Amino acid sequence: MFTSLAGRSAVVTGGSKGIGRGIAEVLADAGVHVVITGRHQADIDATVDSLAGKPGTVSGVTSDVTDPADCRRVVAAAVERHGGLDIVCANAGIFPSSRLEELTPEKIDEVIGVNFKGTVYIVQAALDALTASGHGRVVITSSITGPITGFPGWSHYGASKAAQLGFLRTAAMELAPKKITVNAVLPGNIVTEGLVDMGQQYMDQMAAAVPAGRLGSVSDIGNAALFFATDEASYITGQTLVVDGGQILPESQEALADM
């Protein structure tokens, strides 16, 4: 039995949609008060409305993770609304596809800016508050793409997701004396609004490549993040948890077909 997290305070960047929304919902179900972020007010409002009535409250701050001042504003809001900050889920991310021939410096900067720098900025902004909590938790949403696998069109995206893990390992060391853990969840293919827009046929093809026989849900990722946030995970830091239904396991298409 895990110690209750009821009353703890969390920030989930990119919590207005997709995986971040799923993390926010799982945390709120556990009684955690959550501040979600995103750049678009309408998406934040819709998510805040849909998650009303949970044991933990969910509120929003419209903000951009590429702006360190915005990140400080998010943290200040969480501290003001909930009396402190215990959990930071650095989740906001973008994944525009571009093969090498079309990959411009601007496209590289954009993906690295949101996915990597945005992760660093929100953690930096939260350092004092997480230290004060006495049991600070940082949970980064990385990906299997980059750290483990490749996907044509996503060389810059994969690099940004691997960069998060390079950051994590040293941040975990620097922050261990402050009793802050830093871990990452590496999702496989998760059903989000964006994936649903790709159509059922696309989703069926993707699911066929997963030994578990289904795509992941946002709550699959939320539950992994929740575990890292528990008191019982206090001795786990600098680690990664792949949540992919076994997607990275088959060594060939034949291996998958032989299941």
The CA radius of gyration of the chain, in Å to the nearest whole number, is 18
Binding track over 14-33 against ligand NAP, x by CB under 6 A: x-xxxxx-------------
Distance (Å, whole) CA 249 – CA 209 = 10
Nearer to ligand NAP, 192 or 230 (CB): 192
Q: To the nearest whole angstrom, how small is the minimum distance from the Cβ of residue 126 to ligand NAP?
A: 15
Contact between 77 and ligand NAP per CB under 6 A: no
Contact between 119 and ligand NAP per CB under 6 A: no
C-alpha distances in angstroms, 250 versus 73, 176, 240, 255? 44, 36, 20, 6
Nearer to ligand NAP, 159 or 235 (CB): 159
Contact between 245 and ligand NAP per CB under 6 A: no
Give burial (CB, 10 Å; 0-12/13-18/19+) of 107: middle
Distance (Å, whole) CA 42 – CA 83 = 26
Contact between 89 and ligand NAP per CB under 6 A: no
Q: To the nearest whole angstrom, how small is the minimum distance from the Cβ of residue 32 to ligand NAP?
A: 18
Q: What is the dihedral of CA 175, 180, 181, 185, to 10 degrees?
A: -110
Q: Is 105 helix (H, G, I), strand (E, B) or coil?
A: helix
Q: Which of 57, 133, 143, 155 binds ligand NAP (CB under 6 A)?
A: 143
Is 157 an active-site residue?
yes
**How far does the chain reach from its first CA to its final CA, in angstroms?**
34
Tell me which residues are annotated as active site. Answer: 157
- Footprint of ligand NAP (CB under 6 A): 13-14, 16-20, 37-40, 43, 64-66, 91-95, 114, 118, 141, 143, 187, 189-190, 192-194
